[in-house]
């Protein structure tokens, strides 16, 4: 039976059937990077951030797709999407992508991903191995993704964040000096700040109480506390 190509519907799946992560460490890093990118660009309506979202670069080619662990698209609005279909997004490719390695990733698989990102216009590609605490990066130059020779202290041209590695982990530093953190560390810091604020409030209340008691004693002695306190301020 002949097929009418003009009316045939092309299906672009919203899932590749693969899990978002293979283990807790990989999942934690994906969520941390995605959350950090979200907060980095939370005031930019024209920056779309996603994690584990299928990207289709070419209309009519549903087999050409990748789901980066995290990606950033400048020039596209925030909002929910089942997939990133580039021809519906002003033909803007994701400019920055992140991949977090798991033990199940093979060299062949990661080579194919690099080739895909190179071919379809990614400007910056970062690959982090949390087990080995190793970061690699590629940046587009002369229309090719070329490796970053010295990744320690490297500042992303697009994101304006800095990457540093100590003996234990990767640190992604925002322009204001703050760091991408997981939810547990964020909550710890929030609680510490709340405790500090409560202590400051208690100290201020104690100072206010002492000032009120002093004022009462001065009034009992027939002294205007405003005159005394004003002279000592």
Q: Are strands 96-100 and 124-129 parallel, antiparallel or unpaired?
A: parallel
| 6 band by pLDDT with thresholds 50, 70 and 90 | very low
- CA 54/CA 66 separation, integer angstroms: 5
pLDDT one-digit tens code per residue, 145-180: 999 999 999 999 999 999 999 999 999 999 999 999
pLDDT at 76 over 80: yes
Q: List for the chain the helix, strand, coil content (%; round to 5).
A: 35, 20, 45
Please give the model's pTM, rounded to 2 decimal places: 0.78
DSSP 61: -
Q: Please state the domain count of the chain.
A: 2
User: What average pLDDT does the chain have?
Assistant: 87
- CA 75/CA 65 separation, integer angstroms: 21
User: Is 51 inside a domain boundary?
Assistant: yes
Q: Are 151 and 117 members of one domain? A: yes
Q: Are 189 and 171 members of one domain? A: no
pLDDT at 181 over 60: yes
Q: Are 211 and 132 members of one domain? A: no
């Amino acid at each position: 039976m002949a097929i009418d190509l003009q009316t045939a519907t092309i299906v672009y799946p919203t899932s590749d059937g693969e899990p978002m992560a293979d283990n807790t460490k990989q999942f934690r890093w994906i969520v941390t990077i995605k959350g950090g990118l979200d907060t980095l660009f939370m005031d930019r309506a024209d920056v779309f951030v996603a994690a584990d979202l299928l990207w289709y670069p070419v209309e009519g080619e549903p087999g050409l797709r990748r789901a980066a662990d995290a990606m950033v698209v400048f020039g596209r609005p925030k909002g929910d999407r089942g997939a990133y279909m580039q021809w519906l997004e002003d033909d803007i490719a994701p400019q920055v992508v992140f991949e977090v390695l798991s033990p199940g990733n093979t060299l062949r698989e990661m080579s194919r991903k690099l080739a895909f990102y190179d071919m379809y216009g990614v400007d910056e590609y970062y690959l982090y191995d949390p087990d080995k605490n190793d970061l690699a990066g590629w940046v587009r130059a002369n229309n090719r993704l070329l490796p970053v020779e010295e990744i320690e202290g490297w500042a992303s041209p697009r994101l304006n964040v800095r990457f540093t590695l100590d003996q234990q982990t990767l640190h992604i530093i925002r322009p204001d000096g703050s760091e991408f953190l997981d939810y547990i560390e964020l909550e710890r810091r929030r609680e510490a700040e709340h405790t500090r604020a409560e202590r400051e409030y208690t100290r201020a209340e104690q100072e206010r109480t002492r000032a009120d008691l002093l004022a009462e004693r001065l009034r009992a002695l027939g002294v205007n506390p405003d005159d005394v306190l004003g002279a000592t301020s």
